[in-house]
Every structure is written in structure tokens, then in C-alpha cells.
Amino acid sequence: EIVLTQSPGTLSLSPGERVTLSCRASQSLSSTYLAWYQQKPGQAPRLLIFDASKRPTGIPDRFSGSASGTDFTLTISRLEPEDFAVYYCQQYGDSPRRMWAFGQGTKVEIK
């Protein structure tokens, strides 16, 4: 079973600040299969980062991801007003069977 633990639960920050969100996996899986999503109230989640550090087309470069063993990080270099949202990490595993799992989320709120 994949268990992803995100920290902190909530961050209170001001626009312009740098943000670092953490996601720790319970087991060592391929870092290739780690993604981050952003969700705003009343909206569907949006893919921000895949393969731990790659951005889909259209995602601003202030969003970046990194990996170190079972620890994954999402960094927002400079918070914009539209970045206040909940962020989820997600991992995929295929042993012993295919499954997908999400972390519990980190809320980034305006201070």
C-alpha cells in the first residue's frame, strides 16, 4: 500500500513569498511516478508537476518539483494571488498490483 504524508497541513503566507511543500512516501517507489496537483474551491484539480519535476505545457515556471529518495518537494518561487489553494501529491505503484494514491493535501492560505 502506498501512503503519502504531506506537511504541513496548512501554510499561511503572503503574496510574493517562497513556498516549500513536502510529501513523504511510505515506501521507495520510482520517483518518476510522483505528481502534484492544485485545487481551488469549487474547481477540479489541475496537474502541476509530473515525473517529480516536469511541468505540463502552460504551467508557470514559478512551480518546480524535486525528489530525494522518498521525500518530494513542490516549490513555488514567488506566490501569486491565484496560487492560494490546496496542493496534493500523488504517486503510482505497480507492485503487487497497480494502484494510485494521494496525499492528504496542504492548504496554502493568505496570511
The span of 17-25, 58-66, 71-79, 100-108 binding other proteins (CB under 8 A) equals: 100-108
Angstrom distances, CA of residue 14 to CA of 18, 19, 23, 32, 84: 9, 10, 22, 32, 10
Q: Is 105 in the site for other proteins (CB under 8 A)?
A: yes
The DSSP code for 21 is E
Q: Is residue 47 close enough to count as binding other proteins by CB under 8 A? A: yes
Q: Which is nearer to other proteins, 13 or 29 (CB)?
A: 29
Question: Is residue 110 a contact residue for other proteins (CB under 8 A)?
Answer: no
Segment near other proteins (CB under 8 A), from 14-22, 44-52, 59-67, 71-79? 44-52
Site for other proteins in 67-86 (CB under 8 A): 86
Question: Other CB atoms closer than 10 Å to residue 55's CB: what's the count?
Answer: 17
Measuring CA to CA, which residue among 48, 52, 43, 41 is closest to residue 62? 48
Q: How far is the CB of 56 from other proteins (least distance, A)?
A: 7
Strand 10-13 relative to strand 85-93, pairing: unpaired
